[in-house]
């Protein structure tokens, strides 16, 4: 569930996914239904992760297809990152995001990423400069596996 108290935007998402893993590579594919403030959407997510030596390329590709008249077709890469292993638990690199929506200008963000990983959990920090507006976006992400 997403809810923004400043804009009153809300979104409730439900869906299913599957993940394929082979030789240190992975591909997650998900299909979801979202009930958002302005419309309902069919959402598709593809999250590949490729590793070679000390480098890892990963990303999340998202497609939003409106099911109602008020919705807007959208495509996002959020984020795509290339990281290098600095130690057994630390990776650093760059992250890039792209947001495309029907009849809107593209939005880009780019910046450094630092990630600390335990055996099953990760703490990730991204510092992304926006090409629209002058603010820098700081994103802290916790990925936990149970």
Q: Per residue, what are the HEC states of 67-123?
A: CCCCCCCEEEEEEEEEEEECCCCEEEEEEEEEEEECCCCCEEEEEEEEEEECCCCEE
Number of domains into which the chain is organized:
1
For each successive 10 residues of the chain (146 residues), what is the average pLDDT? 86 95 92 94 96 95 93 95 96 96 92 92 92 81 83
CATH of the domain at 47: 2.40.160.10
User: Residue 131: what pLDDT?
Assistant: 73
Q: Write down the pTM of the prediction.
A: 0.85
User: Residue 111: what pLDDT?
Assistant: 94
User: Residue 42: what pLDDT?
Assistant: 97
**Residue range of the domain that includes 36:** 2-143
User: Residue 145: what pLDDT?
Assistant: 76
Neighbours of 77 (CB within 10 A): 15
């Amino acid at each position: 569930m997403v809810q923004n108290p400043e804009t009153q935007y809300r979104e409730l998402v439900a869906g299913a996914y599957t993940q394929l893993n082979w030789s240190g590579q992975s591909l997650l594919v998900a299909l979801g239904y979202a009930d958002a403030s302005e419309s309902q959407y069919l959402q598709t997510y593809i999250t590949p992760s490729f590793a070679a030596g000390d480098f890892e390329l990963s990303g999340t590709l998202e497609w939003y297809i409106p099911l109602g008249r008020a919705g807007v077709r959208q495509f996002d890469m959020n984020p795509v990152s290339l990281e290098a292993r600095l130690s057994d638990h630390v990776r650093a690199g760059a992250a890039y995001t792209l947001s495309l929506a029907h009849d809107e200008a593209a939005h880009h963000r780019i910046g450094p990423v630092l990630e600390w990983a335990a055996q099953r959990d990760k703490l990730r920090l991204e510092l992304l400069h926006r090409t629209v507006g002058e603010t820098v976006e700081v994103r802290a992400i916790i990925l936990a596996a149970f």
